[in-house]
Amino acid sequence: MKRLLIIVSILLVASICHAQNANTLTIRFSGAPSGPCAPFMLGVNNATGGEYNCTSGGAWNLIGGGGGSGTVTSVSFTGGLISVANPTTTPAFTVAGTSGGIPYFSGAATWASSAALTANALVLGGGAGTTPATNTAFTTNGTTTLTVGIAGGGNGALALSGNTSGNATFTAPAIAGTVNNPVVSSNAIQVPSGTAILPGIAFPVGGGAATGIYRGADNQLDFTVNALDTLQINTAGIFPRLPVCDFSAGNNCLTFAAGLISTSGAGTPIFKATNNVAILTSDFTDSNASGLQVITGLSFALPSLAKNWSFHCSLTYSEATPIASDQFGVASLTTAATNLHAWAHVITAEGATAAQTTGDSGNITNTTPTSIVTFTPVGTGIKQADIDGSIEVAGGGASTLQFYVTNGTAADVIVVKRDSYCEIR
């Protein structure tokens, strides 16, 4: 009865304080609070430190603090990959998958493991519900080499995509501070045919003008500079569209026009076909012997080509003891010509009214040296001789067009003078 009176007194005082907006009243209990309570009251469980407030219905309500205890009756995991052993006693979680594989979401809330992935291969996403996997068309050596394609099974293709304008870039980075590191290919590289405006092989230039190489036709290769065709190569030949010049200070050029090839340029060049002219750089004296003798230095090596040539020789000569039956001759050595024909006129005396002798070799179809003209000089002075002719070559083998001289008597030598020459066209 006494305890009840004390509680009623406390409640009465508390009610008066609450009505006057006083502070809350905290009451400590040895255990969980019990008995009636009012909304302004707080209770503390001294055993656990738990804090309680009082509901509008006059009941104590745990609001925090302290610790609790309980018992887990069962543990489980849904979604795959993880299993639970001893779920009702001491749970043990186990992750299960494929060695060398990777976990993935096979569904929105489901995990699974992929099959073992190929070593050093690229992993491709499978999309919704599909297992990620490696592809034998994409492999590496594990360090620096990527292989696209399957040896003996499929050609690799590397496609560079990008914006509708601009360039897709394929580059090798500079090494050791330089950019001289080319991209090397062990196989042929094919490019589109292109046009003069957009060549198949193009080089970057300012202003967007095209410079490069393109294929104008199946049998044709064209070079363009600033969108201007400059050179064409096809199965018929090489066709420059501009003068062909050297890089000397004189700027010597060959200029091409309809039916005409000429020289041009600041160097005022003169065209010289060196191999088409043979010039004696010293006097040639025939030996003390009979028969036609080779004039050393007056010959032309002809290739094994089916071609017709014309030739001309302008000679000066002298004989210390003029004698009858001197001769000039010609031959096609090593390979006989289809036909070799030469004619000549020889001045045999000095002076304004000098006499001359003419001669003709006739048609020559063998490799034997043949006389063109026989003459008898008068006087020991220098005289002139001219030889003209043509040779038809079938291309059955290389040959040499050789010119000859002989004196009528072995002891009376003939001197063919320096700067005498022959030319062939």
Give the separation between CA 123 and CA 126, rounded to whole angstroms.
9
| Contact predicate 130/138, CB 8 Å | no
Judge whether residue 204 has pLDDT over 80.
Answer: no
Please indicate, yes or no, if residue 83 is contained in any of the structural domains.
Answer: no
Q: What is the structure's pLDDT at 173? A: 63
Q: Pick the last residue of a domain from 216, 240, 264.
A: 240
Residues 224-269 have pLDDT tens digits of 988 888 899 999 999 998 888 887 766 888 888 888 888 888 888 8
Nearby residues of 143 by Cβ (< 8 Å), 6 or more positions away = none
Mean pLDDT across the chain: 84
User: Is 299 in the same domain as 404?
Assistant: yes
Structurally, the chain folds into a number of domains equal to 3
| pLDDT confidence of residue 15 | 45
90 versus 375: which is more confidently predicted?
A: 375
Give the three-class secondary structure for 13: helix
Instruction: Give the HSE-up count for residue 80: Cα atoms under 13 Å, Cβ half-sphere.
Output: 14
For the stretch 262-321, pLDDT in tens is 888 888 888 778 899 999 999 999 988 888 999 999 999 999 999 999 999 999 999 988
Residue 139 inside a domain? The answer is no
Q: Domain residues for 222?
A: 201-240
Same structural domain for residues 236 and 279? no
Dump pLDDT digits (tens) for 354-409: 899 999 999 999 999 999 999 999 999 999 999 999 999 999 999 999 999 998 88
Are 281 and 232 within one domain? no
Identify the pLDDT of residue 20. 40
d(Cα 379, Cα 375) in Å, to the nearest integer? 13
Averaged pLDDT for residues 16-34:
72
Q: Which tokens sit at 421? A: 């020459």
94 part of a folded domain: no
Has residue 296 been placed in a domain? yes
Q: What is the pLDDT of residue 84?
A: 81
Q: Is residue 206 very low, low, confident or very high in pLDDT (cuts 50, 70, 90)? A: low
Residue with the bigger pLDDT between 64 and 326: it is 326
pLDDT given at position 391? 97
Q: Looking at residue 1, what is its pLDDT?
A: 45
Is residue 190 in some structural domain?
no
Task: Give the residue with greater pLDDT, 222 vs 80.
Answer: 222
Q: What is the pLDDT of residues 33-59, one digit of tens each?
A: 999 998 888 999 999 889 999 998 889
Chosen domain end from 187, 217, 240: 240
Span 332-349, pLDDT tens digits: 999 999 999 999 999 999
Structural domain contains residue 131: no
397: left (phi over 0), alpha (psi -120 to 50) or beta: left
213 in the same domain as 344: no
| pLDDT more than 70, % of the chain | 87
Distance CA 195, CA 38 (A): 96
Last residue of a domain, one of 64, 89, 122: 64
Q: What does the pLDDT read at residue 108?
A: 83
Q: Is residue 341 part of a domain?
A: yes
pLDDT at position 393 = 95
Q: Are residues 231 and 360 in the same domain?
A: no
Under DSSP, is residue 386 helix (H, G, I), strand (E, B) or coil? strand
Res. 106: pLDDT tops 90: no
Q: Are residues 346 and 389 in the same domain?
A: yes
Q: For residue 317, what is the domain's CATH number?
A: 2.60.120
Q: How far apart are CA 316 and CA 277, in angstroms?
A: 16
Query: Is 340 part of any domain?
Result: yes
